[in-house]
Chains A and B, each alone.
Chain A
Amino acid sequence: MRGLFRSSGKWWRGAILLFALWAVAAWITTPAVEADVAERSAAALKSTVLDKTRLTPAGRDILFSADAFSEEGRRSAVAAVEAVPGVRLVVDQTRLVPQATPFVWSIERDVVRVTLSGSAPLPASRARLADAARAEVAGVEVSDRMNLARGAPTRFDAAALLLVDQIGKLKEGKITLSDTKVSLSGMARDLGGREAIGAALRNLPEGYSVAENDIKAPPYVFQANKDPVASTVTLTGYVPDNAVHAALAAAAGQKFFSEKVVDNLKASIGAPQGFANAVAPALGALSRLSTGTLVVSDREVRLSGDALFEAAVSQIRGELNKDMPQGWTVKADLSVKPAASPVDATVCQQLFNDLLGKSTIRFESASASIDKDSAGLLDRLIETAMRCPGSSIEVAGHTDSDGDAAFNQALSEKRARAVVDYMVRAGLSPERFQAFGYGSKIPVAGNDTDAGKAKNRRIDFVIR
């Protein structure tokens, strides 16, 4: 044993070689050891939820930096790396993601893209929201600018996913969720979109509420265009429902007696209050124009075109303003059609017959009040009377055979007088007119059928 001790004094010579061996070993094993501990550490963190995880090996030490979503999660992640076999030291540079107060998240849509911004509570919910946005607006670019933060209200994901679903209904706009308050602004994509979003918001999770809903709907537009060349009236745009649609189509058929009505209307919700009551008189006003366009946009009625004679302009404008429901505005941009060339009495009579062959002046039942639907026809009769200024005109009222003969006689006279008054109000000279009532004495058809009676109830114009 003493020999062993004595010889140990000479062992150091071999240690010189050992140094060299150590240097080579350090050179060769260091990269492999570092790769190995980094890989094992990453594997140990696989099931933990962290953001911005970085594992930097130095020898057998690990520099560990990451953002954790709770203090408990942060500690368990560090412990998991420390427990990795082969790791000597863990330099802990982990921290908690910042707390967001208030917790604000938003989704915004503009012309080119949908942008998600604000805070999301976890990487998984962030990915889920971005995916939902991509699915909702398929084909539109989705830009994810969300950060991760703590402090989300409970059921944040459910609320945010519901709001993502609404972005498809917006043309442009922004939906913001601040803690549990939702605010919306922008323009709905379709008519009824605003209402659909409002209905969907009622399904927000408990505790969430709408602070501000400033979504605007696109204008509710109804259009009618009267084209005298093609002799058509084209109706386009929206009506609230099929009942209003049918009523408007029927009214248009009566008012535009000599034109073909082309009906391209579609039913849609979102009509302003009083829509049907505003559109009917507006169509009546359009029927009095020779050519014109009617645009009803939300609660604004714009009428433009040419009236048949000077006095009609103020009449149309006055009646339109009077007939509009509360809250509606009228813009009438009317001019007067150039006067047609004068014609002789025979042609004038022919023109009267043509007009009255297409339609007839209507009155309210058993009364001498002229039906408003006949305003278009009367304007044309007045225009015709203006073309033969020298002739005097007999306006003859006729009735069917129903009822008392004396009553019918009186009624036919009153109706003829009402028509003459109407013509005089339009600026024609009263001296040119004579009103006669013939009761049921001169029928033009049999009084045994309803169709025959309807033909007999008439006003004739005769040039004298």
Chain B
Amino acid sequence: MMVMANFYGGWLLGSLLLGFAAGWISVVQRGDGLSKNAGMGIAGVAAVLVGLSLARIVPGRAGYWLDLFLVMIAAYLVGCVIGSWLRYWVVARQMKGN
């Protein structure tokens, strides 16, 4: 996996930053989030994809693209968590200050 970092590195960083931005915005964004069912559905699909990837069932290029997709999603989610958490922290400080 370390070897592949050469090829993934920049793209993972991009995904992380994109996740960070999405997380940052999501705290103050209006509108409803995903319904619980939709969330469960997405989680289910993600679990299937992870399962496919770990079992190395998908062959050739598609297999590589699936792996790439999953690591980019993972980086994105990490970015989202960090972004949201920081934004909460910033908002909470501002509210205390007022």
B68 touches A12 (CB 8 A): no
Interface residues of A in 325-347 (CB under 8 A from B): none
User: Nearest B residue to A10 by beta-carbon distance?
Assistant: B26
Interface size class of A (residues with CB under 8 A): 20 to 34
Within 8 Å CB of A4, what residues of B? 81, 84-85, 88
How distant is the Cα of A22 from the Cα of B15 in the complex, in angstroms?
9
Chain A residues with CB under 8 Å of B67's CB are 60, 88
Tell me the residues in window 16-31 of chain B with beta carbons closer than 8 Å to chain A beta carbons: 18-19, 21-23, 25-27, 29, 31
- Interface 1/0s, chain A 1-37, versus B by CB < 8 A? 0011011111111110110011001100110110010
Residues of A within 8 A of B23 (CB): 7, 11, 14
Q: Contacting A7 at CB < 8 Å: which of B7, B73, B76, B84?
A: B84
Residue B51 CB within 8 A of the other chain: no
- Contact indicator A29/B80 (Cβ below 8 Å): no
Which of the residues A29, A60, A61 comes within 8 Å of B11, measured between beta carbons? A29
Rounded to whole Å, the gap between the CB of B49 and the closest CB of chain A is 12
Nearest chain B CB to A93's CB is how many angstroms away?
14
Q: Is A228 close to B, CB under 8 A? A: no
Q: Which residues of B contact A444 (CB under 8 A)?
A: none
**CB-contacts of A66-101 with B (<8 A):** 85-86, 88-89, 91
A59 proximal to B (CB < 8 A): yes
Residues of B within 8 Å of A3, CB to CB, are 27, 84, 88
- Shortest C-beta distance, B30 to chain A (Å), equals 9
Contacts of A351 in B (CB 8 A): none
Q: How would you classify the secondary structure of chain B's contact residues: helix, strand, loop or mixed?
A: helix
Interchain CB contact under 8 A, A18 and B84: no
Cβ B88 vs Cβ A33 within 8 A: no
Complex alpha-carbon distance, A89 and B53, angstroms: 12
Contact check: which of B60, B77, B88 meets A61 at CB < 8 Å? B60
Q: Let me know if B33 and A10 touch, CB within 8 A.
A: yes
Q: B59: shortest Cβ distance to chain A, in Å?
A: 6
A residues near B62, Cβ cutoff 8 Å: 59
Cβ contact within 8 Å between B68 and A22: yes
B33–A9 CB distance below 8 A? yes
Residue among B15, B61, B64 with the highest chain A CB neighbour number at 10 A: B64
Tell yes or no: A58 within 8 A of B by CB: yes
Indicate if the CB atoms of B77 and A89 lie closer than 8 Å.
no
* A7 CA to B73 CA, complexed, in Å: 17
Minimum C-beta distance from B32 to chain A (A): 7
Q: Please encode chain B, from 36 to 65, with 1 for each CB lying within 8 Å of some chain A CB and 0 for all others.
A: 000100100000000000001001111111
Q: Are A25 and B68 in contact (CB under 8 A)?
A: yes
Q: Which 4 interchain pairs have the tightest Cβ spacing?
A: A9-B33, A14-B22, A59-B64, A58-B60
What residues make up the interface of B, taking CB atoms closer than 8 Å to A?
A: 2-4, 7-8, 11, 14-15, 18-19, 21-23, 25-27, 29, 31-34, 39, 42, 56, 59-65, 67-69, 72-73, 76-77, 80-81, 84-85, 88
22 contacts between A and B (CB under 8 A): A4-B84, A4-B88, A6-B33, A9-B33, A10-B25, A10-B31, A11-B19, A11-B26, A14-B19, A18-B15, A18-B19, A18-B73, A18-B76, A21-B14, A21-B72, A22-B69, A26-B69, A30-B64, A33-B64, A60-B67, A85-B3, A89-B63
Add 5 more A-B contacts to A7-B84, A10-B25, A11-B19 (CB < 8 A). Answer: A3-B84, A6-B33, A26-B65, A30-B65, A33-B7
